[in-house]
Amino acid sequence: MWWGVWPQEQGEARRESLGIPAPQPEDDALELWLARAKRDRAAAPADKTPRVGALFDDYVRAQRRRKRSDATLEIDLRAAGHFLAEWGRNMPQRLITSQLVDDWISTCETETRMKPATIGRELVVLRGALKLAIHRGTFTTPLERVMPLGDIGRSSARTTGVDEATARRIFDELPEERRGWF
């Protein structure tokens, strides 16, 4: 394994494993470690930066306060779980960009083979969570700069008709007070 020695602000230097096998070239090892260090620094929960985990937790709590059905809450939790699995709970909200969302959509389409309607529904959850974060002041980027342009997976209502014989049969079965509406 490659090891690094890091000077401390006070006291002795600290020796830390880079977690990279030694047969790998030294330059590659350093680049991999720097990339991991940047990711860890961005995910460090010590600062007060709003995190993605809190974003979706707040959204689900708001949905519960709005008395959403259990089925809707289940869909929202599943969608939030997909974003959290991809981005991590500790990722800062400020890192949510249009490129990140586009990459997530590409991953869903290619690797997980999600249907467009499912991707669209999950984007509804993301949009709702970001709207709530904007309302609370924890996310400052306008939604139109983050969310994809155009409709992804928007379903359309079915257009089916009833023939005249079926319509007459239904009309005859309805109570008198409902026939006017029909």
Q: Is the pLDDT of residue 117 over 90?
A: no
| Stated pTM of the model | 0.60
- Residue 126: pLDDT band (50, 70, 90) is very high
Return the SS3 of 92: strand
Give residue 25's identity as a one-letter amino acid code.
P
pLDDT at 181 over 60: yes
Quick: pLDDT tens for 11-65.
667 777 766 666 666 666 677 777 776 766 665 555 678 889 999 999 999 999 9
3-state SS, one letter per residue, for 113-148: CCCHHHHHHHHHHHHHHHHHHHHHCCCCCCHHHCCC
